[in-house]
Structure 1
Amino acid sequence: MTTYTGNVSPGAPPDVRELTGLTISKLSVGPMDNNAYLLRCASTGDQVLIDAANEAPRLLELIGDAGLSAVVTTHRHMDHWVALEEVVATTGARSLVHAADADGLPIPSESLADGDRIRVGERELEVIHIVGHTPGSVALLYRDETDGTHLFTGDSLFPGGVGNTDRDPVRFGSLIDDVEQKIFDRLPDETWFYPGHGKDSTLGAERPSIPEWRSRGW
C-alpha cells in the first residue's frame, strides 16, 4: 500500500489516505495551489467535499459516479469556491458554510455554527468556528477510536503558523487565540491536520512554535 504523505501539486493525481472508517483524497487545484479534500465513508460510500476550490472537471472526476452529499466551504475567500456552483449543480450536493461567511459565496448555502455535526455516511465531522482569517472560517474535526484525530483547517492553520490576517492585530489576536484554545488546548499532538494550501502537519510538530507565532504577530 502506498504511504500517504499529503504532498500534492496542481495537475498531479490525488494523494489518498485509507483509514478504517474514512477515505481521504487530497487534490491540489490551480492556479493558487488550493487543496480540496474528498471524504468517503468506508461503510456507505457517502461522500463530502471540503472546498470546491477550482477546476470543476477534475473535482467531478474525483467524485465519480458515487455522488456527493455536501460541499463544505471552509471560508468565503474566492479561491476556495470557484468550482462550487458547477459542482453543486452537477451533483445536487448541499452547500454548507458558516453563517458569518455565507454572503461571500456565489450560491445560497446552508449555514453552519460552532459545534455542528456534518454526516459523512456513518462518520461525522465537528464544525469548529475559528475567527480571524475571515469572520466565518471553520475547521472540521474527524475523531475516531480506530482512525485517530484528523483536522481540516482551511486557511486558519498551516505548518509554520496561522493564516493571513493582513497584519491586523485584532484579527491576529482572535485567530491565534482561537487556534490555541479550540485546537491546540483541546486536541492531542498526534492530530494530523490538512490545510487549505500546501503540506500537512501534526499539532505536535507545530505546538512548540506557538510562542514564536505570538511574538512575531503573524
Structure 2
Amino acid sequence: QQLCETYNVRNVLETHGHDDHIAAVPALRDAGYNVAISAQDSSMLKSYDQILIDEAIITIGRLKVEVIHTPGHTPGSLSFHLQDSPLLFSGDTLFPGGPGATHFPGGNFQEIINSIERKLFARFDGTTIVLPGHGENTTIANEAPNLNEWISRGY
C-alpha cells in the first residue's frame, strides 16, 4: 500500500478472473482503488469499476497501456502492452515454455494458441519482454520458435 501511495496508484487492471488474481479485489475496492476487467470475466468478480475492451488505450499518468484480448486461459483473458516500450504483461496467457493452462472452466487450448500466435507473436518483435502473471519473464524471441511443439503436445 505504501508503494501505491508513493506513486499515486489508483487503478488495478485485471488480466483475468481466476481467484489467484482477484482475491484481493474486495479489499482493494474498499481501500478506494478502481478495478477493471474484461466483460467476459466480469461475472467472476463480485464487483468492479470498469470494463476493459480489446484495443482500448488506457492512460496512466504519462504512460499509455493497450488492452489486448487474449482468450483461452479464460474467455476474457487480457494482456497489456505498455506503449513505446518492449513490455508486454501477458497474465496467464503466455509463460516461459508455453501457454497458460486451459483445463479450467472456460479454458480453451485452441483459443489460447490462436491468441498467442495472432495477437502476440504476429504483432510483437523478438525483443518484446513478456511479463507473465506468475514466475519468470521471457521474450517473444525465446517463445515463438516453440509454437508448433506446444500445439503437438497439446499444452
Interval containing the TM-score (normalised by the shorter chain): over 0.9
Structure (1 or 2) with the larger CA radius of gyration: 1
Counterparts of 2:29 and 2:52, CA distance in 1? 17
The question of 1:105 aligning with 2:42 is answered no
Aligned amino acid, residue 67 of structure 1: N
Report what 2:70 is aligned to.
130
Report what 2:97 is aligned to.
160
* 1:22-101 pair list within 5 angstroms: 60-90=1-31, 92-101=32-41
Where does the alignment leave 5 or more consecutive residues of structure 2 unmatched?
none
Per the TM alignment, residue 79 of structure 1 is displaced from its structure 2 partner at its CA by 0.6
Aligned amino acid, residue 106 of structure 1: K
* TM-score computed with the length of structure 2 as normaliser: 0.93
Moved >6 Å (runs of 4+): none
The question of 1:149 aligning with 2:86 is answered yes
Where does the alignment leave 5 or more consecutive residues of structure 1 unmatched?
1-59
The question of 1:175 aligning with 2:112 is answered yes
Counterparts of 1:95 and 1:151, CA distance in 2? 20
- RMSD over aligned CA atoms reads 1.7
Q: Please say if residues 36 and 48 of structure 2, whose CA atoms lie closer than 8 Å, have aligned partners that are also in contact.
A: no
Per the TM alignment, residue 142 of structure 1 is displaced from its structure 2 partner at its CA by 1.0
Aligned amino acid, residue 141 of structure 2: G
Counterparts of 2:40 and 2:101, CA distance in 1? 18
- Percent identity of equivalent pairs: 37
* 1:115-126 pair list within 5 angstroms: 115-126=55-66
